[in-house]
């Protein structure tokens, strides 16, 4: 808890303090900057595994793997092993309002109205062939102790694996929705908790977005009905920090992934656009190395420029994500999970 409080700082009023203890919360960057947080380095404790460390620091599974490619995934980590905690982020290239979910990053950002802060948490998203869609919507309902009305499509898919769901799962430890849920408009999708915390930071759901139990409780108590929700697909992000340009890359969603050549072209064009008119010198060897094996961490790729910079948002660059037409992916008699 101490480490989380150190990250929160003293920039919010006491009335927010109780609900933010279980959430990574940062002051928004100043004008011309796009980065929040900082990388932490910790030592593992005896008996800890990757899931224990990830949950302790509000990190998802794949984020931990990207930042620590050699870490033991399946059994306890050796005591006193140095672990990189990737708690530094380039903010997504969208308006900084409401809830923003970046699918390849497996992460949610919430910008409370009237507060100069951003709350960020890891999530789980839809599995391959159950892709969570990109869309713009809003929270239309907050549900405590939700019942899960199991969609026929999910029941049928589970039955093929020998798992037989009832039509309705009541609140309790067997309910995959956990104790809290936020219903999104236009589609039968939820942001909800889970009874399987080890799934956070993975593609593990049938389309909904899962959060750690303590994280969804904090978000549930913080967000009002009507909060906008924008789900985007940004496998790479660029942003300024004190005159230096940074690049953050995550593995693209498998079913939407482009070739490395196409990825390189996209990233190169974006960097050229962002640095146009500046005296930034780009280290393309660093860029190419990060494209080849993404670390999921913001990496400095330029010299420090003189004069002021515009954040990626302020420069009004277009987002890489697209919003498909609103057609249901699952049958509408229940929620996916």
Contacting residues for 254 by C-beta, under 8 A, at least 6 apart: 128
Active-site choice (192, 250, 281, 330): 192
Q: Other CB atoms closer than 10 Å to residue 272's CB: what's the count?
A: 10
Q: Which residues contact 96 (CB under 8 A, 6 or more apart)?
A: 28, 111, 118, 313
Is 74 one of the annotated active-site residues of the chain?
A: no
Q: How many CB atoms lie within 10 A of CB 11?
A: 13
Is residue 43 annotated as a catalytic residue, yes or no?
no
Catalytic residue among 149, 208, 250, 281: 208
**Displacement of CA 193 from its chain's centroid (Å):** 15
Q: Tell me the sheet residues that pair with 126.
A: 205
Cβ proximity of 39 and 9 under 8 Å: no
DSSP string for 2-70: HHHHHHHTT-S-TTTHHHHTTSEEEEPPPTT--EEE--EEEEPPTT--HHHHHHHTT--HHHHHHH-TT
In whole angstroms, what is the distance from residue 55 CA to residue 53 CA? 6
Measure the CA–CA gap between 34 and 89, rounded to whole angstroms.
8
Residue positions annotated with a catalytic role: 192, 208
């Amino acid at each position: 808890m101490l480490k989380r409080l150190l990250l929160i700082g003293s920039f919010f009023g006491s009335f927010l303090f109780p609900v933010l203890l279980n959430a990574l919360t940062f002051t928004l960057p100043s004008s011309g900057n796009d980065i929040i947080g900082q990388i932490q380095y910790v030592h593992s404790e005896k008996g800890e595994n990757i899931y224990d460390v990830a949950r302790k620091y509000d990190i998802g599974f794949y984020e931990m793997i990207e930042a620590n490619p050699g870490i033991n995934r399946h059994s306890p980590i050796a005591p006193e092993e140095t672990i990189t905690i990737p708690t530094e982020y380039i903010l997504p290239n969208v308006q900084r309002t409401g809830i923003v979910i970046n699918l390849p990053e497996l992460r949610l950002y919430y910008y409370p109205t009237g507060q100069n802060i951003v709350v960020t948490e890891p999530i789980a998203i839809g599995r391959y062939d159950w892709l969570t869609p990109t869309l713009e919507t809003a929270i239309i309902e907050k549900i405590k102790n939700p019942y899960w009305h199991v969609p026929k499509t999910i029941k049928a898919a589970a039955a093929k694996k020998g798992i037989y769901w009832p039509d309705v799962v009541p609140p309790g430890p067997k309910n995959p929705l956990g104790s809290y849920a936020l219903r999104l408009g236009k589609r039968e999708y939820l942001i909800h908790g889970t009874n399987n915390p080890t799934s956070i930071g993975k593609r593990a759901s049938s389309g909904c977005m899962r959060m750690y139990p303590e994280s969804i409780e904090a978000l549930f108590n913080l967000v009002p009905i009507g909060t906008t929700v924008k789900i985007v697909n940004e496998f790479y992000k660029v942003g300024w920090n004190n005159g230096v340009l940074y690049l953050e890359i995550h593995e693209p969603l498998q079913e939407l992934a482009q070739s490395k050549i196409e990825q390189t072209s996209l990233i190169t064009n974006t960097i050229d656009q962002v640095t146009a008119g500046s005296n930034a010198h780009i280290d393309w060897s660093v860029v190419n190395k990060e494209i080849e094996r993404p670390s999921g961490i913001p990496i400095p790729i330029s010299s420090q420029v003189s004069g002021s910079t515009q954040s990626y948002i302020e420069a009004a660059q277009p987002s890489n994500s697209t919003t498909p037409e609103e057609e249901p992916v699952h049958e509408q008699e229940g929620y996916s999970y």
